[in-house]
Amino acid sequence: MPSRAGPGLVRGRGGELTRGLILFGHGARDPRWAEPFERLAARIRAQTPCEVRLAYLQFIKPDLQAAAESLIAAGATSIRIVPIFFGQGGHVTGDLTSLIGRLRERHPGVDLESAVAVGEDAAVIEALAAYCLRSLSA
């Protein structure tokens, strides 16, 4: 059974890093755009022993390859990628799928999986609806 060992690492019985999480966003030229992603990552890190990285499609570093390779270099054998996009548009179904394919070719021994875009999750839709309804009272 994996255990917490060190700053957010999930390690197996042999001490190896076993699982990592990458939050994947679009990116923007304004670096302040990434602040909500950094807060999200910090909140997740506080609640899981899993190592969490941020990655962006464009404009902001690191990109997906760099984030994944940093986890792999630390010993990750399984990486879950969560697209922080509102829907399953072209960046998720095209760009992300292609990037993951290239990572799988470079690292065939690593299990790389993608979740659906966060906006496709019913709980996320509920949270957004609640926010919108609260804005009516503001």
- pLDDT in the model for residue 125: 97
In the numeric block, the tokens 């879950």 are attached to 80
Domains present along the chain, CATH in parentheses: 3-137 (3.40.50.1400)
CA distance 45 to 43: 6
- What digits encode the pLDDT tens for the residues 29-67? 999 999 999 999 999 999 998 999 999 999 999 999 999
Low-confidence ranges of the chain (pLDDT < 70): 1-17
- pLDDT in the model for residue 2: 39
- pLDDT in the model for residue 71: 97
Phi, psi (deg, nearest 5) at residue 61: -95, 150
CB 9 within 8 A of CB 51: yes
- pLDDT in the model for residue 9: 43
Q: What is the pTM of this model?
A: 0.86
* DSSP at 118: G
What would the DSSP string read from start to end of 19-78? Answer: EEEEEEE---SSGGGGHHHHHHHHHHHTT-SSEEEEEESSSSS--HHHHHHHHHHTT-SE
